[in-house]
Structure 1
Amino acid sequence: MLCLLTSAASCQSNLLQITSVVLYFRFKMFVHDNYVRGNENIQVPAHLNFGKYILDKIKLRNDEIALENSDTGEKLTYKEFTQYAVNLSTLLTKLGVGRGDTVAVGSEKRNEFVPTVLGIVFTGATYTPYDLKSGRAALKHKLSVAKPKYFICSHTFWTMYSDILKSFDCIHKLFTLDDAMDDGVSIKSLILSDVDVNRFEPASVHGQIDTAFILYSSGTTGMPKGVQLTHLNCILNSLPDDFSDESLKTAFLFGEWYHNYDTFMTYKFLALGRKIVYVNHATPESFLKSVENNQVNIAFVVPSLVGYLSKADDAEKYNLSSLHTIYSRSSPLHSKTIKTVKSRFPKLKNILQGYGMTEAGELTSESWGTKGSKLGSVGMASPGITLKVVDSETRKILGPNERGEICLRGPVFMKGYVGVDPSIYLDEEGFFKTGDLGYYDEDRYFYIVDRMKEIIVYDGYKVAPLELETILQSHPEVYEAGVVGKPVPDYGEEPTAFVVRQPGSNVTEKELIDYVSTEVPPYMQLRGGVNFIEKLPRNPRGKILRHQLRNMLN
């Protein structure tokens, strides 16, 4: 079990020491030799307030650049960033926003996005994101999960989804990041003067139980689940110790601020006072240009981009000498790919891999490795995490080099899914069942073998087959549908459908691909195509036998 201990020294520095205390009760509780623990001596602020934690870091900076849009050249200094967040928080508080409320943000990537999130968190309210490219079906579902009372969106988001937002009675007030819109008030028009940042204090929270973020994680049970992250969860996810190397001055963020990975890597670097560069539409070319133009030192990317660097001839036309480290997560990189990229770009010191999930952040990372990186490994257990590998059938705890399901627990683990009984996803010891198949070696480095769960990973994005099946089956000419991933080089798997038509139907592959494309973001589209079959293979309980569908792809 974990408890919070204070000392005179930690009180003076306003820090709380988290340490593991193992209680040995005869015949009741023992520590298993095959538990794999990350560092358990972690310092976090005693207030356990994520908003205050970040504010105390960023207000120490002034004219240093916090965020830069590499496409447009627009920059936001730390002083401007902090002032914006404090102004917004003060405004929202005056309007009645506070603990117990949920405030949604729907927008494209832009400099205002991150300080808007922090402005919400400063009020004590819960923040939840809605992706511009999420698709209509997923947006409706996520809104029904989090039920936001307030919604802040960009003009672009409003243009695409205003009809959906208007249909949800839970939304009492709409704001826009841009000029005023129908039924929405412009934030810029409401903020009339700057608040004194040095006198501002975020609202008090109960950091171990109050939800700071609701993010979304797809699973095999259908549409995305709402992942509740407490203030303590967010602080632990944002500790920057693994990137404290002062040579890493500028970071490039390939992904979106709706994902756990990209979100908390941003907060790690904000806590360090570093510069974060991003682009509106991430492509290999925009990445290469950003590295060259902004002298990027570390890049947080997806495996397909690393694969591109191993093959593309035009990559060598750019000056990438500033790039010291590439950090990749979401699916394992092949050791040959890593070796090839390092040989092509000799200035590149590290290609690190990590293993994480929305529910618990970074479970393992090569950045925590005590003996350097190991090809094919995703690193060692992260601080505050306890991992075990169990036999998927017997649930016996396994030792080194024995493959089984990876399970986790620790203070970084989420508060829970919105509206889901914990007994569904926790085992008898309180460990979260990840559904991922893997093992660790004698040095306690972890390796991911496969996904026991049915999630498809395309270009770093996780796709729930049942979500696509639900959408396909809403088509009037589809009787039933099954979706699996078709392996493709570099990108992982392409969503591929098997469809049983309604009797007498002649619906075509193109019609169904186009139908799905109107409901989902680009990464969820049926890039693997549609296969028409007479009957879906199912077990006696009616569950689709996906392995048989995958065999049909060969």
Structure 2
Amino acid sequence: MPVTVHNNVVSGPEERGIPAHLSYGQFLFDQLKNGGDNIALVNAETDESVTYRHILQHSVNLATTLRKLGLKKGDVVGLSSENRFEFIVAALAVTYCGGILSTLNITYTPGEITHLLKIIKPKFIFTSPITSQNIYDCAIEMPYKCQLIMFGEFDVVPDCIMYDNLIKDHVNVDDFTLTDVNGQDDTVAVMCSSGTTGLPKGVELTHVNFLTLSAHMRYYFECVQEKKKTGIINGLTLIPWFHAYGFITTFAVMAMNIKIVFLIRFDEQQYLETIQNYKINMTTIVPPLAVFLAKHPLVLKYDLSSLVEVWCGAAPLSKEIQQAVSERTGIDFIKQGYGLTEVTMACLVDLTSGDKVGSCGTPAPGMRVKVIDIENGKQLGPNQEGELWIKSPLRMKGYMGDRAASDALIDDAGYVRTGDIGYYDNEGYFYIVDRLKELIKYKGFQVAPAELEALLLQHKEIADAGVVGLPNEEAGELPLAFIVTQPNSKVTEKEIVEFVASKVSPAKRLRGGVVFLKDIPKNASGKILRRELRKMLQKYKSKL
């Protein structure tokens, strides 16, 4: 992408135009119409497929029924489900109605669900059988009325409405009118992102945020297709749609009327068979999948030559793994991107074909990025490491129900403090080297040390605790706890690991293990010195 550097600010190319109506729902409605009878989605596990016309019809039917049930502009609707056809239809219908969609991670514990429900206060929650019991148990404890809508054939929990009953009445699509919105100010979705307090925060993203991201995705596709003279006919999505990365990229690709093949879960053989049998052209992955492609012996038994575009995000990918995948499989260079939910995901994207191995690319259209010295606040030049600050029309509206946290993240000029340490080279290509903020990244999911430390301190045998990420090639980082026990305690590592596992979602388990210390290093104000703990990790790793 074209890039300019002026006064130590790196800027991307000119911003792309978006529809003047500024309604993401209207944009998707129009794009679904354009798709017509082309295949939109394919479930790779069952080979079942639906057309764009089918999705449009069902989403209009559902939107009409939701209005009759009382859904109004600005109402929040939760969505907790694995990847399935109904997920897409429900998300579209809520958007048509001017509602605010909030996706909920299906691995959340009751405590995490309850925390989020108190923030978003949904009027309805769409749920599937695999997550409905947790959702139901938490929803009935809320002080407000929350109606559950169930995907599938069976009412797993009481007092729910069956989704299939809400799409039965056929509505003339040409007579349907979407709810008008103020796209610049109105929230279209609340995506979850962890803060350093540990519990999820609700990131409010507007219609303009999503429209802009869709325009950017089209630009990226045009750039790579022009270089390679090859079209992208279909894509594979495995990343959960409840995750901002999976949700945003899936809808942006659908808006281009490209066929999307999806998987519900990762199975090594099925994943490779899907790429081979459907002749997948492009896919989005996370670093653990790249490690699988680089090292697993099963990979060499499949023909992956149809893949012309592989994009990796959610966590940094090493240049060694990038190169290994290409050399081993023949897949073209894996492109890295960098983003955060607070800036509607993609901020930096590498559109080269391996010219800048290890880089996450240059700023997206309309994006400005600067690097700030974390000690003195000085704006840094090329090849100097500091915190990335980003200014863009993709910037979030704010954290729902947390004005203070929103204000702390965004400066007076509109720059978002990312908490990530990196630098740019003389050509404006960025490299991420570390994280200033304390979050651990496990397989693309954010894990907050403070939450685990607070939990560990609830154990009667533990006097003090500090949690950091143990670097791991497959997962990125594994949560590891340094523990100071009570005098004469005989608590074991196994007991501590099991204690945490019983109280947190899978991503937050102490997969890195436990290290026992005499005391946790802290500064004068009592803050844990995590850098000192990370130094200790080197000694710990040498014993493994």
- TM-score normalised by L of structure 1: 0.90
Q: For the residues of structure 2 that align with 1:546 and 1:372, how far apart are their CA atoms?
A: 34
The corresponding residue for 2:197 is 221
How far off its partner does 1:126 sit?
Answer: 0.5
Q: For the residues of structure 2 that align with 1:317 and 1:398, how far apart are their CA atoms?
A: 48
The corresponding residue for 2:158 is 182
**Matching residue's letter, 2:183:** G
Structure 1 pair 474–104 and aligned structure 2 pair: CA distance change class (3 A): farther
The corresponding residue for 1:243 is 221
Q: Secondary structure at the match of 2:104?
A: strand
Q: For the residues of structure 2 that align with 1:338 and 1:440, how far apart are their CA atoms?
A: 19
Q: For the residues of structure 1 that align with 2:388 and 2:394, how far apart are their CA atoms?
A: 16
The corresponding residue for 2:120 is 146
**Aligned match for 2:421, one of 411, 431, 437:** 437
Task: Name the stretch that deviates more: 32-41 or 499-508.
Answer: 499-508
1:60-139 aligned at under 5 Å gives the runs 60-139=34-113
Q: Identical aligned pairs, as a percentage? A: 39
Contact 1:254 1:302 in 2 (8 A): no
How far off its partner does 1:439 sit?
Answer: 0.9
**Matching residue's letter, 1:399:** G
Contact 1:135 1:518 in 2 (8 A): no
Q: For the residues of structure 2 that align with 1:386 and 1:321, how far apart are their CA atoms?
A: 36
Contact 1:64 1:77 in 2 (8 A): yes
Summarize deviations over 1:41-92 as a string: whole Å, max 9, x none.
3210111111111111011123322112212222222111111211111111
Q: For the residues of structure 1 that align with 2:487 and 2:75, how far apart are their CA atoms?
A: 49
Residue 210 (1) aligns with residue 193 (2): no
1:277-426 aligned at under 5 Å gives the runs 277-346=261-330, 348-360=331-343, 361-367=345-351, 373-418=355-400, 419-421=402-404, 422-426=406-410
How far off its partner does 1:540 sit?
Answer: 1.7
Structure 1 pair 134–315 and aligned structure 2 pair: CA distance change class (3 A): same
How far off its partner does 1:477 sit?
Answer: 4.1
How far off its partner does 1:335 sit?
Answer: 2.2
Q: Secondary structure at the match of 2:35?
A: coil
Q: Secondary structure at the match of 1:374?
A: coil
The corresponding residue for 1:510 is 494
1:438-453 aligned at under 5 Å gives the runs 438-453=422-437
Task: Name the stretch that deviates more: 31-40 or 153-162.
Answer: 31-40
Summarize deviations over 1:390-433 as a string: whole Å, max 9, x none.
11121111111111110011211000112132331123433111
Contact 2:104 2:192 in 1 (8 A): no
Contact 1:227 1:414 in 2 (8 A): yes
Unaligned runs of 5+ in 2: 540-544
Q: Secondary structure at the match of 1:436?
A: strand
Summarize deviations over 1:100-158 as a string: whole Å, max 9, x none.
21110111221111221111111101010112112233222222221212212112211
Residue 522 (1) aligns with residue 506 (2): yes
The corresponding residue for 1:454 is 438
Q: Secondary structure at the match of 2:131?
A: helix
How far off its partner does 1:185 sit?
Answer: 1.3
Contact 1:61 1:78 in 2 (8 A): yes
The corresponding residue for 1:274 is 258
Q: Secondary structure at the match of 1:155?
A: coil
RMSD over aligned CA atoms reads 2.0
Count of aligned residue pairs for this structure pair: 521
Summarize deviations over 1:470-522 as a string: whole Å, max 9, x none.
33334444443221001122322111112334556543322332232233332
Unaligned runs of 5+ in 1: 1-30
The corresponding residue for 1:498 is 482
Residue 469 (1) aligns with residue 447 (2): no
**Matching residue's letter, 2:19:** P
Structure 1 pair 122–473 and aligned structure 2 pair: CA distance change class (3 A): farther
Q: For the residues of structure 1 that align with 2:486 and 2:177, how far apart are their CA atoms?
A: 61
Contact 2:102 2:190 in 1 (8 A): yes
The corresponding residue for 2:136 is 162
Contact 1:67 1:76 in 2 (8 A): yes
Contact 2:322 2:333 in 1 (8 A): no
Contact 2:269 2:298 in 1 (8 A): no
Contact 2:10 2:368 in 1 (8 A): yes
How far off its partner does 1:545 sit?
Answer: 1.2
Structure 1 pair 503–102 and aligned structure 2 pair: CA distance change class (3 A): farther
Contact 2:238 2:264 in 1 (8 A): no
Contact 1:175 1:187 in 2 (8 A): yes
1:4-43 aligned at under 5 Å gives the runs 33-43=7-17
Summarize deviations over 1:526-552 as a string: whole Å, max 9, x none.
101122334322212221111222222
Q: For the residues of structure 2 that align with 1:55 and 1:220, how far apart are their CA atoms?
A: 37
